[in-house]
Amino acid sequence: MDLKLNDKIVVVKGAARGIGRAIALEFAREGANVIVNNVIDASETLMEIKKLGKESMFIKTDVSNMNQVKQMFNKVAKNFGRIDVLVNNAGVTRDALIQKMRVEDWDFVLNVNLKGAINCCKCAATYIIEQKYGRIINISSIVGQMGNVGQANYAVSKAGVIGLTKALALELARYGDITVNAVAPGFVSTEMTRRVPEKNYEDVYRENTLPQAGRAGGDRLSRCVPSL
C-alpha cells in the first residue's frame, strides 16, 4: 500500500531508541525524510535513516524547554522548507505510589510528556496552518485511558495528551487538510518498561490486546498499538 509519504518532512521526537526510533525508521522506509529529535545522542538512528537513502538531521533538544523547541522548528523550516508530520513520542516515567511521589517526579513527567507535546504542537502549528496541510501524531498510552498503580503522574500526562489531541484536532481542522491523532500503545518492551518489576507484567499483559509485550522495531508497530 502506498502511504504517500515519499519525500514528506517528518519530525520524530525522542527517536534515539525504542518506539520513537522504530517510528522514524518506518517513516524512512516509506520514503519520508526524517528529522530525529532527542535530548540524548541519536546519531545511530540518523545513520540508519541515511542508509535507507533518505535525508535526515539530528537536533538535540529538550522538548520541555520552549526556547529550544522554537529553535528546533526554525532549524527544520530553514533546512527542509516545511513540516508535514510531527510525531510527539518523547516520554519519561518516574513511578511511585502517591504518598511517596515527590513534587520533582510530578513536574519532570508532566514537563516532558505533556508540556513537551504542547510546546511542539504550538510551534508546528504555525507552519502547518500556513501550509494548510499537516499531520500531528501524539503518543499517549493505555495508562492514560485506564490508569495504573504507581503511575499517577504518567497517567495524568498521557490523559492530558489525549485531551490536547482532541482539542487541536477540532481547532486545526478549519485551516485545511490537517489532522491530529493519538495512539495509545499497550505494553511494549523498551528501555522505559525494562524498569517495570516482573511481577507487574501479568497485570499489564491482561490489559493488552496481545498476549505478550510488543517489540519496538521487531513487530510492525501497527500490530502492537491500538489507535484511538
Ligand X SMILES: NC(=O)c1ccc[n+]([C@@H]2O[C@H](COP(=O)([O-])OP(=O)(O)OC[C@H]3O[C@@H](n4cnc5c(N)ncnc54)[C@H](O)[C@@H]3O)[C@@H](O)[C@H]2O)c1
118 is an interface residue for ligand X by CB under 6 A: no
Question: Nearer to ligand X by C-beta: 131 or 193?
Answer: 193
φ, ψ for residue 63, nearest 5 deg: -70, -15
19 is an interface residue for ligand X by CB under 6 A: yes
> Least CB distance from residue 134 to ligand X, whole Å?
20
Question: Nearer to ligand X by C-beta: 134 or 185?
Answer: 185
Site for ligand X in 201-220 (CB under 6 A): 216
Residue 35 near residue 124, CB atoms below 8 Å: no
Name the one range near ligand X by CB under 6 A: 74-82, 88-96, 122-130, 166-174: 88-96
* 154 is known as an active-site residue: yes
164 is an interface residue for ligand X by CB under 6 A: no
Residues 27-66 vs ligand X: string with x where CB under 6 A?
----------xxxx---------------------xxx--
Query: Which residue carries 510551534 as its cell?
Result: 123
> Least CB distance from residue 208 to ligand X, whole Å?
9
Residue 41 near residue 16, CB atoms below 8 Å: yes
205: its cell numbers:
499483559
Q: For residue 183, list its beta bridge partners.
A: 139, 227
- Active-site annotation holder among 127, 154, 175, 201: 154
d(CA 186, CA 207) in angstroms, rounded, equals 7
103: exposed, middle or buried (C-beta count within 10 Å: 0-12, 13-18, 19+)? exposed
103 is an interface residue for ligand X by CB under 6 A: no
> Least CB distance from residue 197 to ligand X, whole Å?
14
- Size of site (CB under 6 A) for ligand X: 30
The angle subtended at Cα 9 by Cα 170 and Cα 111, nearest 5°, is 60
160 is an interface residue for ligand X by CB under 6 A: no
89 is an interface residue for ligand X by CB under 6 A: yes
CA 19 → CA 22, 91, 107, distances in Å? 5, 10, 23
CA 176 → CA 65, 128, 132, distances in Å? 29, 9, 5
Instruction: Please list the active-site residues.
Output: 154
Contacting residues toward ligand X, per CB under 6 A = 13-14, 16-20, 37-40, 62-64, 89-92, 112, 116, 139, 141, 185, 187-188, 190-193, 216
